[in-house]
Amino acid sequence: MTTETTTRGETILDARGVTMRFGGLTAVRDVDLTVSSGEIVGLIGPNGAGKTTFFNCLTGLYIPTEGEVRYKGAVLPPKSFKVTAAGVARTFQNIRLFANMTVLENVLVGRHTRTKEGFWSAVLRGPGFHRAEKASRERAMELLAFVGLAPKADHLARNLPYGEQRKLEIARALASEPGLLLLDEPTAGMNPQETRATEELVFAIRDQGIAVLVIEHDMRFIFNLCDRVAVLVQGAKLVEGDSATVQGDERVIAAYLGEPFENAPGAEEVAEVEAAEAAQAETAEAAEATEAETEAAEAQAEPSTDAAPGKESDR
């Protein structure tokens, strides 16, 4: 095979210098990240590191304060439905299904960016509409079979167990026929068996030619699954590499244990806060000592007037 014919390994997502500020808080700080076709990339970091904010910047939910996100060479539009139409789909940390719709209907909703039939076609319900609807249903059923939910196509989404709701979210995201799938904590709340099944599902998605970027707190899941892992700490990318590199990096371990590391983003602020806390503690200690001294002096100055009956014998 010549290099011209192979597309595996081409960069499809290219995020450069992405920064997101909320007022005075910099949630994401100058982050570069790429994802290539055929890759599964993990994004990890302690709570509040900026992972979801970064996802939101990639998917048009937030417009980054600075930086640029390209998908297959084109800058992504700042609207989430346009990002989905461009080929980037996602799931959410907090499941966002249509609870009172059936499992199949939820997947059909996910297909709307791929349905060419317009408004009048839907209203007039002509042959074009019926053909498109049939094709959509067939594809939706295929996707449900792919994630193992075909037997539950007619169930209401809200009646599915938690793990299956997460699978349904994935099927709905796949319904937009993405080239890149972003998964935000896909195994949250799952038992080890469900987590293992999700791992297999993500491999199967990759094998279908869809690149995956995944946020997850379950390290075993991430290190088993990912070709590459990027670590965010306090909004900035600390380390990036294969699983072994990231697992062996002392700065990553320190970040998870909450220890400041050399040149950590915000390390100066942490040092300032610690110094202020120490000064405050010293002042409080000094104040306590002064108070104790004053009390002792007062007690010495007026021994008989303050003494209550029986006080001597209480001591």
Ligand X SMILES: Nc1ncnc2c1ncn2[C@@H]1O[C@H](COP(=O)(O)OP(=O)(O)OP(=O)(O)O)[C@@H](O)[C@H]1O
Q: How near is the Cβ of 94 to ligand X at its closest, in Å?
A: 10
- The answer to whether 51 and 43 are in contact (CB under 8 A) is yes
Cβ atoms < 10 Å from Cβ of 284: 10
Q: How near is the Cβ of 26 to ligand X at its closest, in Å?
A: 9
Q: How near is the Cβ of 52 to ligand X at its closest, in Å?
A: 3
- What is the rounded distance in angstroms from the CA atom of residue 312 to the CA atom of residue 184? 69
- The answer to whether 42 and 225 are in contact (CB under 8 A) is yes
Q: How near is the Cβ of 76 to ligand X at its closest, in Å?
A: 18
- The closest alpha carbon to 238, from 218, 214, 199, 265, belongs to 265
Specify the residue, 173 or 233, whose C-beta has the smaller distance to ligand X.
233
Using a CB cutoff of 8 Å and minimum separation of 24, what contacts does 307-310 make? none
Specify the residue, 106 or 198, whose C-beta has the smaller distance to ligand X.
198
């320190």: which residue's tokens?
Answer: 254
Q: How near is the Cβ of 170 to ligand X at its closest, in Å?
A: 19
Q: How near is the Cβ of 266 to ligand X at its closest, in Å?
A: 11
Specify the residue, 69 or 149, whose C-beta has the smaller distance to ligand X.
69
Specify the residue, 26 or 37, whose C-beta has the smaller distance to ligand X.
26
Return all residues near 252 (Cβ < 8 A) that are at least 6 apart: 231, 238, 239, 246
Specify the residue, 42 or 87, whose C-beta has the smaller distance to ligand X.
42
Q: How near is the Cβ of 88 to ligand X at its closest, in Å?
A: 18
- The answer to whether 19 and 65 are in contact (CB under 8 A) is yes
Strands (E), the chain: 11-22, 25-36, 40-44, 66-71, 74-75, 88-90, 180-184, 211-215, 228-233, 236-241
Phi, psi of 33 (to 5 degrees): -155, 135
- The alpha carbon of residue 96 and the mean position of all alpha carbons in its chain are separated, in whole angstroms, by 14
Specify the residue, 51 or 167, whose C-beta has the smaller distance to ligand X.
51
Residue ranges in contact with ligand X by CB under 6 A? 22, 25, 27, 45, 47-53
Specify the residue, 1 or 257, whose C-beta has the smaller distance to ligand X.
257
Specify the residue, 21 or 155, whose C-beta has the smaller distance to ligand X.
21
Q: How near is the Cβ of 24 to ligand X at its closest, in Å?
A: 10
Q: How near is the Cβ of 194 to ligand X at its closest, in Å?
A: 20
- What is the rounded distance in angstroms from the CA atom of residue 91 to the CA atom of residue 85? 15
- The answer to whether 106 and 166 are in contact (CB under 8 A) is no
Specify the residue, 50 or 64, whose C-beta has the smaller distance to ligand X.
50
- The answer to whether 29 and 237 are in contact (CB under 8 A) is no
